[in-house]
Amino acid sequence: MPKIEFVPSNRKVTARKGETLLNIAREAGVHLNSSCNGVGTCGKCKVRVIEGEVVENPSSYQLAPELKEKNYHLACQLKVMGNCKIFVPPETRLLDDALLEEKGEIYLAQELNKSERNPRFKKAFLSLPKPSLEDNLSDWERIEREIKKLYGKPVLPFYSVIKEAPFLLRQNDWQVTATLFDAKDKFFVSNLASGKKTFGPFGLVVDVGTTTLMAELIELSSGEVWGRSSRYNPQIAFGEDVISRIVYGKKASGLNKLQREVIRAIEQMGKKLMEEASVSVEEISGLYIAGNTIMLHLLSGIYPGFIQEEPYVPATNFGYWEKGESLGFRLFEKAYVFLLPCVASFMGADIVAGLLAAGFYKKGPLRLFIDIGTNGEIVLGTGDWLLGCSCSAGPAFEGGGVKHGTRVVPGAIEEVKIDSETCDVEFVTVGDTAPSGICGSGLIDLMAELFLAGLIDRRGKFVFTCKSKRLRKSNGDYEFVIYKGEESSKDITITESDIDNLMRAKAALFAGIKILVETAEVNLKDIEKLYIAGAFGHYIDAQKAMIIGLLPDMPLEKIEFLGNTSLLGARLVALSQEFEEKALEVASRVTYLELARSGRFMDEYVSALFLPHTHAELFPSVMKLLKKEKRATKK
Amino acid sequence: MLVEKLLNSYSGKVKEVEIGSGGLKVGGETCLPFYLWEGEMPNKILFGLEILDQEPVDWADSLARLYQDVWKEPVEWAKKCFEMGAEFLHIRLTGTHPDSKKHDPTQAADLVEEISKAVSLPLIVYVSGNKETDAQVLQKVADRIKDSRLLLGPADEENYKLVVAPVSLTNHNVIAFSPVDINIAKQVNILIAQMGMPLERIVMDPTTGALGYGLEYTFSIMERLRLAALIQNDEMTQFPIICTVGQETWKTKEAKVSPDEEPTWGDEEKRGISWEVVTAITLMLAGANLISLRHPESLRLLKEARSEFISLGEGG
């Protein structure tokens, strides 16, 4: 019977000749993505045959030629005929973006069922009786009367509507579609369009990240996503982190420039989404924008300089509607913009949106929310109370400040395994292409593996008793070679100072968690659920993150990755007025803890500058694992 | 009226470390310092004197008057300290530093051996803090001395591997040094223990701050180390503590400046002794097990204080 080996999980099983690889994998407990259930149409179960004898069923799904060349096949259409070694690429193994989105959608649907879908913007088809000498109301009063009849609420016009109405009504035989802005006790008519509109109104949901901008086009009445787009924040040219952005914003005309750049980028994304979906700009009624406090200042053209000065207060925490025009939008000058509320200078609307998406507005068990980024934001609470802090972890986990660090791009090393006996390295890159650098998840893996293999000590310093040739000195720094390039300058390595940066990043985050937990007088082990947000969140191996002491030691099933929760939370707000209120409520419920003022921070930080931590008792399962590993190496 | 005595009970115990040649031990306490109504301190706190392997350059005049007749001859100096009542000797091998080049590793080992033959006291040996020479010096010293258990150090978070490797293969003890930081103190202990060093052969030096120069920091770090050791039973903090009081106090302005410069400050020698004694008493109350000094009068006063604290403690 054929023996099948799956890498990188190194699972080996025996199979029946002629059995499909997907079935073999399922029985062996090797997860392969597959949404068509093995009929060969979704293309998600692609694997590479490293060696072995297989036959393939012809399937309707066509793999890209470069993948075919590399001997990639669909596992569901592949029958094994002899011993095989199969490589399972990460996109087949991990929850991919689409799946994560799907997860987000399901989640969203659950949230929205509970509170009814009730967007601010509604569409009303009006078939008005023509005016006559007997019924001689003005055009506007005619509209007003009809809407009142439909909804029983007072109605007020936007001036532009009154101006446009006379021609529009007469040209369309008194058949128009009004867009209403629901202000609870009354309606505003924000727009009139000709005839009966089947779709709309639409909203644009935007997450303004320091690094990345993301936007979604949403049909508000159905809640459907009509398109999604992302790009780099063009403000990067004026500074990579928020502080340098503030500094630039303090310069003469600096703020203007920053504002213009981001507004233009949002409009470009919006334009592209509208074109793809054949939606006209008049149909975009609302923009829903989340982002950190500083990004929202810059977007609104509000001077950010005082945030940087003691006592670090923002000009506003937002949470209100503003006309597109007054924020500097041109394309969306008539649209209304909701800027999601922030908590404090260093805890922004992105986190408030995240808390909505993770359900923190509900009362329940003790939960922890972590957004891992250059600024790590952490919120702890039961919903009755929420306590948050922000710690500057630095960009190490995003690949910044690391010699061969990179963002999640094709070729980024995202998984690493090190053999503790031979010090041999196996790794997996995004897209299974030649390695170009190491991304955040790869760095977490790498640190954990170096530590498990005894190549670094508990301070994160290389141990030279190891005879590995991969350990060498270069430019006065010690480094470990992960990938040998054609010349030594093309090698991919991790240096001792890289590890230092990662140690500092993880220590800052863990210290923040620890201080929150202690301030709230609860225990780490009482945390029922840990939600992780962040652009690279779903790639992290939680076990490895625990080994290096980035995440608290807890059962893996308590940990949930949510991806970009800022966008998800902003969409909830777009689809429901109740969530708009909840956003304000959650933002005001979070008690923000200024770590700089906590005398305990340095103490906790230094004690977290150790692998996994100075106080090993905080990481019982990791310590158990280390003992096991040690015994295994001794044998 | 009968009042019930409220007593703390401690789950932890400081490890006993054997030093010297006569089975002498330090540590082993099961209560906070001198809380003898709650536990015991089976071994005395020891007071020693410090000597160098070469003529000191910056020692206070009061000390020069005492030692200059012998300090060119470390063995004679050692004998003098023994006669003055030192309970251990703290030898600093500053002459092994490449800048000084007074002794190579073999000569350093010769010297320590001679001292150990001349006086029957436990010896603490600190190397000069130079990466290139320290490991070799320690190796030579550790291998040479066979019939006495030395305390060798200091091993810090940077050099711990160099220091611990030669020591762990012998019977000697190692001193784990940390820069007034409870977390790093514990981290260095863990790092040393992970190299296979037996736990009953580790002593901590948490860095001594003299009165007016950080004494309160050292006090609170030591207090926290002891609370962690005794109450939380944190094994990686359960080591005896050494404080280098002589070195830290006698370099302060208050111990050095002559009455000519500061007429209102009074006699400089008295001043220096007071500084040394106050610092030492404070740290004795924080949990020190070994205190190295420079002045014999301080030594005499502190031994008295020790007896008084013990009888106070026993009186409960």
Helix-helix angle B74-83:B105-118, to 10 degrees: 30
Chain B residues in contact with A603 (beta carbon < 8 A): 182-183
Residue B213 has a CB neighbour count (10 Å cut-off) of 18
What is this model's ipTM? 0.84
Residues of B in contact with A610 (CB under 8 A): 183, 187, 190
- Number of helices (H), then strands (E), belonging to chain B: the values are 11, 10
Burial class (CB in 10 A: 0-12, 13-18, 19+), A476: exposed
Residue A381 lies in a domain: yes
Residues of B in contact with A615 (CB under 8 A): 186, 234
Among A458, A603, A607, the residue with its CB nearest the CB of B191 is A458
Cα dihedral A292/A293/A296/A297 (nearest 10): -150
Q: Does B190 touch chain A (CB under 8 A)?
A: yes
Q: Which residues of A touch B183 (CB under 8 A)?
A: 603, 606-607, 609-610, 614
Among all residues of chain B, which has the CA nearest to that of A461?
Answer: B158
Q: Does A609 touch chain B (CB under 8 A)?
A: yes
Interchain proximity A459–B186, CB inside 8 Å:
no
> What residue numbers bound the domain in which B274 lies?
25-315
In a domain, B55, yes or no: yes
Inspect the interface and report whether the beta carbons of B184 and A459 lie closer than 8 Å. Answer: no
Domain assignment of residue A111, yes or no:
no
Average pLDDT per run of 10 along chain A, which is 635 residues long?
81 86 81 73 82 82 78 88 84 55 56 71 93 94 93 89 93 94 91 87 94 89 83 84 90 94 96 91 95 96 93 94 95 95 96 94 95 88 95 81 82 88 86 85 93 92 78 87 82 93 94 96 95 69 93 92 85 93 96 87 94 94 87 62
- What is residue A49's three-state secondary structure? strand
CATH number at residue A296: 3.30.420.480
The minimal CB distance from B184 to the residues A457, A606, A616 is found for: A606
Judge if A387 and A343 occupy the same domain. no
- Using a CB–CB cutoff of 8 Å, tell me whether A500 touches chain B: no
Q: Which of A457, A603, A616 sits opposite B183 (nearest CB)?
A: A603
Contact A357, A110 (CB under 8 A): no
Gap between the Cα atoms of B163 and B174, Å rounded: 8
Residue B95: which pLDDT band, with cuts at 50, 70 and 90?
very high
Query: Is the CB of residue B186 less than 8 Å away from at least one CB of chain A?
Result: yes
At residue A326, what are phi and psi to the nearest 5 degrees?
-75, -15
Within A385-511, strands assigned E span: 386-392, 412-418, 425-429, 437-438, 471-474, 477-483, 492-495
For A515, counting Cβ atoms within 10 Å of its Cβ (0-12 exposed, 13-18 middle, 19+ buried), the class is: buried
Q: Are A320 and A229 in contact (CB under 8 A)?
A: no
The CATH number linked to A13 is 3.10.20.30
Residue in the structure block whose two tokens are 């604290």: B309
| Chain A residues closer than 8 Å to B234 by CB | 615
- Percent of chain B topping pLDDT 70: 99
* CA-closest candidate to residue B209, choices B100, B288, B300, B266: B288
Please report, for residues A337, A453, A454, A495, A634, the alpha-carbon distance to residue A423 in angstroms, rounded to integers and kept in the order given.
55, 7, 10, 16, 15
Question: CB distance B190–A610 less than 8 Å?
Answer: yes
Phi then psi for residue A338, to 5 deg, are: -105, 120
Kindly state whether residue B9 falls inside one of the protein's structural domains: no
Among A498, A528, A547, the domain boundary falls at A498
A606–B183 C-beta distance less than 8 A: yes
Please name the helix (run of DSSP H) or strand (run of DSSP E) that holds residue A605, with its range, or none: helix A601-608
Residues contacting A178, CB < 8 A, separation 6+: A123, A124, A125, A126, A143, A147, A189, A191, A192, A193
Residues of B within 8 A of A458 (CB-CB) are 187, 190-191, 194
**Cβ separation of A603 and B182 shorter than 8 Å?**
yes
Q: Is residue B181 less than 8 Å (CB to CB) from chain A? A: yes
The total domain count for chain B is 1
Rounded to 5°, the CA angle A115-A118-A120 comes to 140
- Rounded to the nearest angstrom, the minimum Cα separation between A608 and chain B is 9
Residues 6+ apart with CB under 8 A from B298: B246, B273, B276, B277, B280
* Strand (E) or helix (H) holding A378: strand A375-381
Nearest residue in B to A627, CA atom: B194
Answer whether A606 touches B (CB < 8 Å).
Answer: yes
- Whether residue B295 lies inside any domain: the answer is yes
User: What's the DSSP call for residue A336?
Assistant: E
Among the partner-chain residues B181, B182, B190, the one whose CB lies closest to the CB of A458 is: B190
CA pair distance A127, A195, nearest whole angstrom: 9
Residue with tokens 């002899």: A82
* HEC secondary structure over A74-140: EHHHEEEEEEEEEECCHHHHCCCHHHHHHHHHHHHHHHHHHCCCECCEEEEEEECCCCCCCCCCCHH
Within a domain: B8: no
Q: Is A478 on the interface with B (CB under 8 A)?
A: no
- B184 contact residues in A (CB cutoff 8 A): 606
Q: Do B194 and A459 touch (CB under 8 A)?
A: no
Query: Quick one: which of A129, A274, A263, A285 has its CA closest to A203?
Result: A285
Minimum CA–CA partner of B183 in chain A: A607
Chain B residues within an 8 Å CB radius of A614: 183, 186-187, 190
Grouping H, G, I as helix, E, B as strand and the rest as coil, residue B20 is strand
Residue A132, number of CB atoms within 10 A of its CB: 7
Residue A559 belongs to a domain: yes
> Which domain-ending residue is among A476, A498, A520?
A498
Side chain identity at residue A124, one-letter code = A
State the DSSP H helix or E strand holding residue A189, giving kind and residue range, or none if neither.
strand A187-194
Distances (CA, A) of A309 to A243, A247, A602, B272: 11, 11, 21, 46
The residue ranking higher by pLDDT, A91 or B214, is: B214
Same domain, A138 and A189: yes
Phi/psi at A14 (nearest 5 deg)?
-105, 145
Residue A227 lies in a domain: yes
- Looking at the 3D structure of chain A, how many domains does it have? 5
What pLDDT, on a 0 to 100 scale, did the predictor assign at position A401?
81
Query: What residues have CB less than 8 Å from A295, skipping those under 6 apart?
Result: A208, A209, A210, A233, A242, A245, A262, A348
**Nearest chain A CA: its distance from B288 CA (Å):** 22
Q: Which two tokens stand for residue A237?
A: 């040219």
Helices (H), A206-325: 242-250, 254-277, 293-300
What residues of chain A lie within 8 A of the CB of B181, using their CB? Answer: 606
- Least Cα separation, residue A455 to chain B (angstroms): 14
Interface of B with A in 106-165 (CB under 8 A): 157
Together in a domain, A568 and A508: yes
- Does A409 share its domain with A387? no
Examine the domain organization and report whether A480 and A515 are in the same domain: no
Select from A457, A601, A618 the residue whose CB has the most chain B CBs within 10 Å, as the one to mutate to test that interface: A457
The CATH number covering residue A146 comes to: 3.10.20.880
- A603 vs B: CB within 8 A: yes
CATH number of the domain that residue A556 is part of:
3.30.420.40
Which chain A residues are within 8 Å of B186, Cβ to Cβ? 607, 614-615
> In terms of DSSP H, where are the helices of A278-434?
293-300, 349-357
B242 domain residue, yes or no: yes
How far is residue B116 from each of residues A228, B31, B56, B84, measured CA to CA in Å?
A: 80, 33, 21, 17
Interface A-B: count of C-beta contacts within 8 A: 28
The set of residues, in sequence order, having a beta carbon less than 8 Å from that of B16 and lying 6+ positions away, is B25, B26, B27, B28, B42, B43, B200, B240
Whether residue A622 is found in the same domain as residue A586: yes
Q: In what order do the strands lie in the sheet with A590-593?
A: A559-563, A529-533, A367-371, A375-381, A386-392, A590-593
- Do residues A221 and A287 share a domain? yes
Structure tokens at A191: 């727009």
Q: What angle do CA A410, A413, A414 make, to 5 degrees?
A: 95
Specify if B229 maps to a domain: yes
Q: And the tokens for A27?
A: 């029985």
Q: How far apart are CA B144 and CA A425, in angstroms?
A: 43
Considering only residues 168 to 187 of chain A, which have any Cβ-Cβ distance to chain B shorter than 8 Å?
Answer: none
In B149-257 the beta strands, taken as DSSP E runs, fall at 151-155, 173-177, 202-205, 242-244
For residue B232, what are the CA distances in angstroms to B10, B11, B237? 8, 7, 10
Q: Which of A103, A114, A582 is nearest to A352 (CA)?
A: A582
A613-622 long-range Cβ contacts below 8 angstroms, 24+ apart: A613/A510, A613/A549, A614/B183, A614/B186, A614/B187, A614/B190, A615/B186, A615/B234, A616/B190, A618/A524, A618/A552, A618/A553, A619/A546, A619/A549, A619/A553, A620/A553, A621/A546, A621/A553, A622/A546, A622/A547, A622/A549, A622/A553
- Comparing CB atoms, the residue among A459, A603, A607 nearest residue B157 is A459
* Shortest distance, CA A417 to any CA of chain B (angstroms): 24
Closest CB from B181, B182, B187 relative to A459: B187
Name the residue facing B186 among A457, A459, A614 (closest C-beta).
A614
At A420 the pLDDT is 82
Considering only the beta carbons, identify the residue of A458, A614, A616 that sits closest to B183.
A614
Q: Do A458 and B186 touch (CB under 8 A)?
A: no
Q: Do residue A150 and residue A217 come from a single domain?
A: no
DSSP helix/strand/coil, A284: strand
Q: Which amino acid, B48?
A: G
Residue in B closest to A614 by C-alpha: B187
Question: How many angstroms separate the CA of residue A51 from the nearest CA in chain B?
Answer: 43
When CB atoms are compared, the residue of B182, B187, B234 closest to A610 is B187
Please give, rounded to a whole number of angstroms, the shortest distance from the CA of A601 to a CA of chain B.
12
Question: Is A607 an interface residue toward B (CB < 8 Å)?
Answer: yes
For residue B37, give the CATH number of its domain: 3.20.20.20
Residue A218 sits in the same domain as residue A303: yes
Could you list the residue range(s) of the whole structural domain that residue A169 is in? 121-194
Of A142, A119, A141, the C-alpha closest to A129 is A142
Assess contact for B141 and B125: CB atoms under 8 A.
yes
B194 close contact with A: CB closer than 8 A: yes
The whole-angstrom separation of Cα A600 and Cα A512 is: 10
Residues A13 and A49 in one domain: yes
**Interchain CB distance below 8 Å, A606 and B186:** no
Asked if A497 reaches chain B (Cβ–Cβ under 8 Å), the answer is no
Beta-carbon-side half-sphere exposure of residue B228 (alpha carbons within 13 Å): 19
Task: Tell me the helix, strand and coil percentages in chain A, rounded to 5.
Answer: 40, 25, 35
- Check CB contact under 8 Å for A609 and B186: no
Nearest CA in chain B to A607: B183
DSSP notation for B99-131: TT-S--HHHHHHHHHHHHHH--S-EEEE--S-H
Q: How many helices and strands (H and E) does chain A possess?
A: 17, 27
Domain end among A483, A498, A513: A498
Q: Do A79 and A26 share a domain, yes or no?
A: yes
A106 in a structural domain: no
User: Do A251 and A342 sit in the same domain of this protein?
Assistant: yes
Q: Which of the four pLDDT bands, split at 50, 70 and 90, describes residue B167?
A: very high
